[in-house]
Chains A and B, each alone.
Chain A
Amino acid sequence: GAGVSQTPSNKVTEKGKYVELRCDPISGHTALYWYRQSLGQGPEFLIYFQGTGAADDSGLPNDRFFAVRPEGSVSTLKIQRTERGDSAVYLCASSLLPSAQETQYFGPGTRLLVL
C-alpha cells in the first residue's frame, strides 16, 4: 500500500516568507508526527497529532511554527517569517495507534532551504 507522502520534496524560499509543508499519512493511521532533521543529526520532535487535535506540541521551537490536521488525515506544517536557521529536512511520520510501542512510518521528507 501507499506509504507516507510529503510535498513538496524541496522548497527554497527567502528569509521572511511563509511556507506550508504537506503530509499525507498512511490511510487509517490515527497518529501523525512532525520531526525536523538538521544535517548530521537525528530527527527532533516537533508536534504530534492524535486524530484532529495536537496531543503534544512541545517540540515546536517558537510561535512562528504551527501545524494543523483538520480532518484527522492530511496535515500541514506552517512556518511564518522564515529564518535561515529553519533550513532543514522536515519529516512526517504516522502510526496506526497512538502508542509508544507502535512503529512510526516516515515519509521521504521536505528539504527546506531559507536563503
Chain B
Amino acid sequence: GDSVTQMEGPVTLSEEAFLTINCTYTATGYPSLFWYVQYPGEGLQLLLKATKADDKGSNKGFEATYRKETTSFHLEKGSVQVSDSAVYFCALSGPNTGNQFYFGTGTSLTVIP
C-alpha cells in the first residue's frame, strides 16, 4: 500500500547550518505530497506542499521538490534558526488513499545557538 519513509532523528544543528530531511514515498498513481511541522506544545501546521511531479513547494525559507523519478520529497533549508526547532512530518495523499493522509514517523529537529 501507499506509505512514506522519513529520515529518522533526532537531528541537532547549529544556527545557520544547512538542513536536509529526507522523505521517500511509495504510491500507486500520482499522490500529493506535504510537509507538516509541529512546534513544541502546538498542533500540526502545513509547512508546504506539492501536488504534481517537478513542483516545488516553499514557505518560510523551506523548500521541497516533488521528484517522481526518485519518489522523493526532501525538505531543505539553507540556514536554520533556533525557532525552526520542531518535529517535521512528511505526508502523502493520493487518488488511491481515499483522501486520507499517510504520515511518516516524524523527524525531531533541534537548532542550537
Contact = CB atoms under 8 A, between A and B. Distances in A.
Interface of B: 4, 6, 31-32, 34, 36, 42-46, 49, 51, 89, 91, 93-95, 97-106
Nearest to A105: B46
Contacts of B91: 42
Interface string A95-115: 100111111111111000000
Secondary structure at the A interface, as helix, strand, loop or mixed, is loop
A102 B34 CA distance: 10
Contacts of B101: 33, 35, 43, 45, 93, 104
A106 B45 contact: yes
Nearest to B92: A100
A44 B34 contact: no
A38 B101 CA distance: 16
Interface of A: 31, 33, 35, 40-45, 48, 55-56, 58-59, 91, 93, 95, 98-109
B44 A91 contact: yes
B103 A100 contact: no
A48 B98 contact: yes
Given A91-B44, A103-B34, A45 B105 contact: no
B98 A101 contact: no
Given A40-B105, A42-B89, A42-B105, A100 B45 contact: no
Contacts of A48: 98-100
Contacts of B36: 106
Complex A-B, nearest 3 residue pairs according to Cβ-Cβ distance, in ascending order = A42-B103, A45-B100, A106-B44
Nearest to B34: A103
